[in-house]
Structure 1
Amino acid sequence: MTSFSSPPAPSARIELRRGGVTESAHQGTAVVADATGRLLHAWGDPGLLTFPRSSLKPFQALSLVESGAADGLDSAHLALACASHRAEPFQVAMVEAWLRRLGRPESALVCGPAFPMDEGDLVDAARAGGKRRVFHNCSGKHCGFLAAAAAFGQPGGYERPDHPAQRHWLDALSDLIGRDATALPRGTDGCGLPALAMTMTDAARAAARYAALAVSDTRREAAIRRLLAALREHPAHLSGRGRPTERIVAATEGRVLLKEGAEGFVLGFVPERGLGIAVKITDGATRGKMALFATVLGRLGLLPADRTAELARAVEAPVLDSNNHVVGEVAALPLA
């Protein structure tokens, strides 16, 4: 076990290989903690301060559930509230229907207009009129905050740090990290909502306690249980169909849940063992983070070696030439 007094362990390494030669490499940090707060494993610096970004959406969604605004919503909506979606048609349709349910126009979403991420959907959107707020990858989260804001009696201004919907999830995060989350460094996320910075260790601890339902009251425990079930039942809503999140949940038969964040971050929840996993590619690269996450799962014995290697390959796009021929790969090196 790595302790705070120990020097940082060697970083994880992710390589892009072309023709069997390492063309470039990324360094990564991976931290594993349990629900008691113990730091079990660390590759790289567990004290690295960074922004988990969208990986915190399952925590932010506690405002939606605990306010009562999720009463009458199904688990697919809860997953969408935690999503960084790609604006696939089924996701857009859900956001539009949710806005109608709330009686709010698309302009009520604080997130800015965007295009869908998949090429065919982008072309269709351009032909239909261009960017829309419902296409933004955080529009599900913003629907959740719109609903929570109304339940808290302040339907406008949910992006303000002092809004009850923002204060509520910070109270929940404080419960999970064991100290006042409002004192954490703060910035602004790409969607216009507040973003918090924390150490890799705190992120892993919060995920572990979330996974283990290690909270102070039964209402919060029930809310987390609902959200974990939504992540397990609807992994495609969190990102997209056939995406790495869905593949990892399927490969682990729902024993491992996860949420991606921007700038190379991934947060994992292992309910059956009360573990939290935080992964960060230090330079913010997207490529390599899922291979590293899969490699950590193998190191923890959550997958056998052969399936770990298979999954690590499956969750990283191969290197292609202009004719779509595979000419290289992205791989995470084994962890000591």
Structure 2
Amino acid sequence: MTLAKDTMPAHEAQAVTAPAEPKAAPNAAPNRDTRTPRHVPLVEQTRDGLVESVHYGSLIATGPGGETLITAGDPDAAFYPRSSLKPLQAVALVRAGLELPEDLLALTAASHSGAAMHRDGARRILALHGLTETALENSTDLPYGTIEREDWLRNGGTPTQLAQNCSGKHASMAAVCVINGWPVAGYLHPEHPLQLLVRDTITELTGEEAAAVSTDGCGTPLFAHTLHGMARAYGRLASAAAASEEGRVANAMRRYPEMVAGEGRDVTALMRAVPGLLAKDGFEGLQLIGLPDGTGIAVKISDGGDRARLPVTVRVLEALGLDDGALDALQSPPVLGGGKPVGVLRASNFLQTTFQSANHD
């Protein structure tokens, strides 16, 4: 089974001024310099027995109590979580009064493929709050999904804000401004009441203050956190009570995974394969997972190579006991030579290395 990889289109990030006096958190992200994080080999591609390429990265799995279960590389280095922040942003919107059907709440946390159901969903969110597409302030783009993009272009489509993969989130951000009487225009400014709420919510859920602030590809303020903090946040979302803001977002994503990504996307397949699993990807090789017992997993591939996300994620899930065959369909396709399998893309022995290092210490 070949699955399309879930990445966000690359855009140049533009620095913005960090909000003054950020809200305190139980743990602060370490005060790091700008050195390259201490990543380790996580994935290798072989061709007829030789290692052809290697992807480095870092990861962590945290338990229900926040304890570290598995770690590799440098999970306490600050990084930009990109679109893996969307479920946390969605929690902030629900706390600000956003009330939507579950399919549209899932779309709020989405990096969608740009199918008709996604574009129509964003329109529905806007219309429910008396808004039109003119309220959107995200960047324009073609649909992200390959099939969706080709169909869009065949019918004369051009880059639009609705087709851009973050349009559900932006429609809900504009809607929350209407709900609270905040200005809709300028809702992306880092000092807008909406973005201050989002920042504080992310700080709370990760348990750490942002180490840096920039701008994501769609124009939203982007906060740097650690893999450790992000894993904690996803464990919290996935295990939250159904009636809580966190639980409402998580349940919507799990019930409508096709709205979070799209048909044929690996994040959709992952949530369908493992009941109760919460999954979201992000550009530059990010994969976040939350399990119903409160376990959180965060993976970062250092070179941004998207193909390396799933082999690492599957290996970690199997190490945590999810090895009943549900993950078999998510294994990477074989490396081909002349149309025949001659190699594999596989997780390296980072688990063995991690356990050996722990025993040595």
The TM-score with structure 1 as length reference comes to: 0.85
Equivalent-residue separation in structure 1 for 2:54 and 2:152 (angstroms): 36
Contact 1:59/1:172 (CA < 8 Å) preserved in 2?
A: yes
Supply the AA of the counterpart residue of 1:260. D
Residue of structure 2 equivalent to 1:237: 259
Alpha-carbon shift at residue 99 of structure 1 (Å): 2.6
Q: Which residue of 1 aligns with 2:291?
A: 270
Relative to structure 2, which stretch is displaced further, 92-101 or 49-58? 92-101
Q: CA deviation at 1:125?
A: 2.3
The amino acid that maps onto 1:303 is: D
Question: How many correspondences in the alignment?
Answer: 314
Partner SS state of residue 134, structure 1 = coil
Q: What residue is the counterpart of 1:228 in the other structure?
A: 250
Quick one: distance in 2 between partners of 1:206 and 1:257? 11
Match of 1:268, SS? strand
* Matches for 1:124-203 after TM superposition, within 5 Å: 124-126=151-153, 127-154=155-182, 155-179=184-208, 181=209, 183-203=210-230
Q: In structure 2, what is the equivalent of residue 28 of structure 1? A: 57
Inter-CA distance 311–141: structure 2 relative to 1 (3 Å threshold): same
After the TM superposition, which residues 68-79 of structure 1 pair with which residues of structure 2 at under 5 Å, given as runs? Answer: 68-70=97-99, 73-79=100-106
Q: 1:325 to 1:167 in 2, by over 3 A?
A: farther
Looking at structure 1, the residues matched to 75 and 90 of structure 2 have their Cα atoms a distance apart, in angstroms, of 26
Matched residue, 2:78? 49
What's the CA shift for 1:47? 1.5
**Residues 12/221 of structure 1: CA separation in 2 closer, same or farther (3 Å cut):** farther
**How far off is 1:318 after superposition?**
4.7
More helix by share: 1
User: Contact conserved, 1:263 with 1:285, CA < 8 A, in 2?
Assistant: yes
Q: Distance in 2 between matches of 1:10 and 1:69?
A: 39
Higher mean C-alpha displacement, 122-131 vs 26-35: 122-131
**SS across alignment from 1:25:** strand
- From the superposition, tell whether residues 49 and 111 of structure 1 become closer, same or farther in structure 2 (CA, over 3 Å): same
Q: Which amino acid aligns with 1:299?
A: A
Q: Which of these residues, 92, 96, 107, is aligned with residue 80 of structure 1?
A: 107
Measured in 1, the distance between the counterparts of 2:243 and 2:203 equals 15
Residue 175 of structure 1 and its aligned partner are, at CA, apart by 2.3
Q: 1: CA distance between counterparts of 2:299 and 2:93?
A: 26
**1: distance between equivalents of 2:265 and 2:339?**
19
Which structure 1 residue ranges, 4+ long, deviate > 6 Å from structure 2? none
**Aligned partner of 2:120 among 86, 93, 97:** 93
1:255 to 261, 276, 301: 276
Give the Cα separation in 2 of the matches to 1:324 and 1:92: 37
Q: Contact 2:113/2:148 (CA < 8 Å) preserved in 1?
A: no
> Equivalent residue for 2:322?
302
User: Match for residue 33 of structure 2?
Assistant: none
Alpha-carbon contact 1:55-1:267 (below 8 Å) kept: yes
Is 1:63–1:145's contact at 8 Å kept on the other side of the alignment?
Answer: no
- Partner in structure 2 of residue 217 of structure 1: none
> Structure 1: how far apart are the matches of 2:191 and 2:243?
24
**Matched residues, percent identical?**
35
> Could you tell me which residue of structure 1 aligns to residue 17 of structure 2?
none
TM superposition shift of 1:187: 0.7
> Are residues 1:103 and 2:123 paired?
no
**What code does the residue aligned with 2:249 have?**
L
CA distance in 1 between partners of 2:75 and 2:147 (Å): 40
Q: Confirm or deny: 8 A CA contact 1:279 1:293 kept in the other structure.
A: yes
Give the gaps of 5 or more residues in structure 1: 215-219
Shift of residue 147, structure 1, vs aligned partner: 1.1
Contact persistence 2:43–2:345 (CA under 8 A): yes
TM-score computed with the length of structure 2 as normaliser: 0.79
How far is 1:103 from its partner? 2.9
User: CA RMSD of the aligned region, Å?
Assistant: 2.6
* CA distance in 2 between partners of 1:260 and 1:330 (Å): 19
